[in-house]
Amino acid sequence: MTQSNTTLLQKVYDPGSFRQQGHALIDQLADYLESVQSQSDEVVFPQHGPEDHYRFWQNELNGPLSENPASFFETVIQHSVKTHHPRYMGHQVAVTAPAAALAGLLSNVLNQGMALYEMGMSSTPMERLVIELLAKKIGYDTSSSGILTSGGTLANLTALLAARACKAPSNVWSEGHQERLAIMVSEEAHYCVDRAARIMGLGNAGIIKLPTDAQYKMRCELLEESLAKAQREGLYVFAIIGSACSTSTGSHDDLEAIADFAERHNIWFHADGAHGGGAVFSTKYQSLLKGIDRADSVVVDFHKVLMVPALATALVFKREQDSFSTFQQRAQYLWNSAEADWYNLGKRTFECTKYMMSLKIFTLLKLYGEEVFTAVVDQVYDLGQKFAKMIAKRPNFELAMEPECNIVCFRIVKNGVSDLNAYNQALRERILEKGHFYIVQTTLRDKLYLRTSLMNPLTTEQDLTILLDELESLANRLLFKFS
């Protein structure tokens, strides 16, 4: 190695520089948290088009090198969506607890691989303890097991692969499958379930979508008829997925009815609780998940309502042996046999270099206890109920449905408006242009609704009142364009 290379790398790893830069970054982030929590006029959504932003960061990259990253980090903060702002009500990402973020920094520096115990000797036992706690909350007994993995999409795919391994007529791992396999799922299920089925080669015919009722819940009375039709068409249904809850509306499928159906027909029952599964920590709202303890597998995202930075998803199996069904191969340089054990996590997940996500969850449990998860679920779900009541009192507003959790869908309905979809879309665009709120939209049965995910436990009823007032004011100003 040349002297110049040695000097550069010594600079990269210098503890003194790291200490100084780290202290400065913590100060910046604390200032950011203080700013968004105290200043109601702080911009939540900085309005930058993709091409403009690309050129901006291109210029940053091509500019002079910095001796200190503080100014660069400040630029990143200013150009990012402020998820910690009480008026952030957009997509379902966690409002990160600062302690969990610090655990993420620790994890990044230590950088343990975690496919096998030797590289995850601290975080692997933590992961088991987190899974055991969650399994107990779900209602499973001690024969359950599971893993943490990088997101609900990967967790749902892994669960369906396990379902296929356990329920398909042939040994899929060694022989493949000749049967036309299929799954059953609500038409309102998250798109990742559809994607997982296509990755598995099921195709259009292998994704049987059940229609939903007026509350956007799976119409379970159609299950028997749908299964019979699939069987007549030569399909072998090996799994059914219940949404707890759906992403667009926050509706919870009837998990008890789905469990009854699955048991009658020896079909794997998977509960996708990526967003709503955290309600197992809430005495007040856990009834929304009635029947989840009868599922063969459950997914819960800690990086949604439960305040943990992305990504940190739990996949829990009711029976431990099922958690080893997906992957059964040897990897001689990692472990000596493919036999089941709890501590070599690479035997149960796609990931080899697996992030120490358990550390972030464990840190919150160590500092605050599981009560912190109860508190945040109750807080944001209560807020969803209050917001719906506020909307219902305004004559020009219409709810898509009564919300069950912290997801609320609504729209403004004005007499004489020729295109309510375009009208409400324009309202959202105006809100984003102002930048003081961040809300999203969804389309339900061809009707466009404004959609809020109330993720921030520091959001207040006053924030919601100001949002409705601002929407109403904008609606009046836009009326002439759509009449």
Q: What is the pTM of this model?
A: 0.94
- Measured distance CA(392)–CA(414) in Å, rounded: 15
- Measured distance CA(393)–CA(263) in Å, rounded: 44
Across the range 67-92, mean pLDDT stands at 95
> What DSSP state is assigned to residue 212?
B
Across the range 100-106, mean pLDDT stands at 97
- Checking 119-128 for CB contacts under 8 A at 24+ apart, the result is 120/345, 120/354, 120/356, 122/356, 122/359, 123/356, 123/357, 123/358, 123/359, 124/343, 124/345, 124/358, 125/343, 126/358, 126/359, 126/361, 126/362, 127/345, 127/357, 127/358, 128/342, 128/343
If asked whether residues 147 and 206 sit together in one domain, one would say yes
What's the pLDDT at 343? 77
Q: Dump pLDDT digits (tens) for 238-295.
A: 999 999 999 999 999 999 999 999 999 999 999 999 999 999 999 999 999 999 999 9
If asked whether residues 435 and 316 sit together in one domain, one would say no
If asked whether residues 295 and 379 sit together in one domain, one would say no
If asked whether residues 433 and 450 sit together in one domain, one would say yes
Is 206 among the domain residues? yes
Backbone angles phi, psi at 376, to 5 degrees: -70, -40
**Across the strands, what pairs with 399?**
410
Using N-to-C axis directions, what is the helix angle for 357-368 and 371-392, rounded to 10°?
A: 90
Residue 119 has pLDDT above 90, yes or no: no
First to last CA, the chain: 73
What's the pLDDT at 337? 56
Stated length of the chain: 483
Side chain identity at residue 402, one-letter code: E
At 205, which CATH number? 3.40.640.10
Residue 97 token pair: 């607890």
Across the range 112-122, mean pLDDT stands at 84
Given 351, 368, 385, the domain boundary residue is 368
- Domain containing 221: what range? 112-368
Given 341, 368, 395, the domain boundary residue is 368
If asked whether residues 270 and 153 sit together in one domain, one would say yes
If asked whether residues 218 and 262 sit together in one domain, one would say yes
Closest by CA to 199, choosing from 169, 151, 159, is: 159
- Measured distance CA(240)–CA(271) in Å, rounded: 9
Q: Dump pLDDT digits (tens) for 406-449.
A: 999 999 999 889 899 999 999 999 999 999 999 999 999 999 99
If asked whether residues 303 and 352 sit together in one domain, one would say yes
What's the pLDDT at 331? 46
Name the domain count of the chain: 2
Q: Is 59 exposed, middle or buried (0-12, 13-18, 19+ CB in 10 A)?
A: exposed
Is 478 among the domain residues? yes
Given 349, 368, 387, the domain boundary residue is 368
Is 100 among the domain residues? no
Q: Dump pLDDT digits (tens) for 338-380.
A: 567 877 777 778 887 888 999 999 999 999 999 999 999 999 9
What's the pLDDT at 49? 87
Is 408 among the domain residues? yes
Residue 336 has pLDDT above 60, yes or no: no
Residue 162 token pair: 């396990």
If asked whether residues 361 and 409 sit together in one domain, one would say no
Is 18 among the domain residues? no
Is 445 among the domain residues? yes
If asked whether residues 193 and 116 sit together in one domain, one would say yes
Is 42 among the domain residues? no
Neighbours of 109 (CB within 10 A): 9
Q: Are 354 and 366 in contact (CB under 8 A)?
A: no
What's the pLDDT at 241? 98
Q: Dump pLDDT digits (tens) for 283-324.
A: 999 999 999 999 999 999 999 999 999 999 999 999 998 988
At 399, which CATH number? 3.90.1150.10
Confidence of residue 329 (pLDDT cuts 50, 70, 90): very low
Across the range 78-90, mean pLDDT stands at 95
What's the pLDDT at 315? 97
High-pLDDT (> 90) share of the chain, %:
82
Is 32 among the domain residues? no
Closest by CA to 140, choosing from 344, 323, 406, is: 323
- Checking 17-23 for CB contacts under 8 A at 24+ apart, the result is 20/68, 21/68, 21/69, 21/70
If asked whether residues 325 and 470 sit together in one domain, one would say no
If asked whether residues 434 and 353 sit together in one domain, one would say no
Q: Are 185 and 210 in contact (CB under 8 A)?
A: yes
Q: Are 223 and 188 in contact (CB under 8 A)?
A: no
Report DSSP letters for 151-204, one per residue: -HHHHHHHHHHHHHHHHSSS-HHHH---SEEEEEEETTS-HHHHHHHHHTT-TT
Q: Dump pLDDT digits (tens) for 10-31.
A: 999 999 999 999 999 999 999 9
If asked whether residues 225 and 127 sit together in one domain, one would say yes
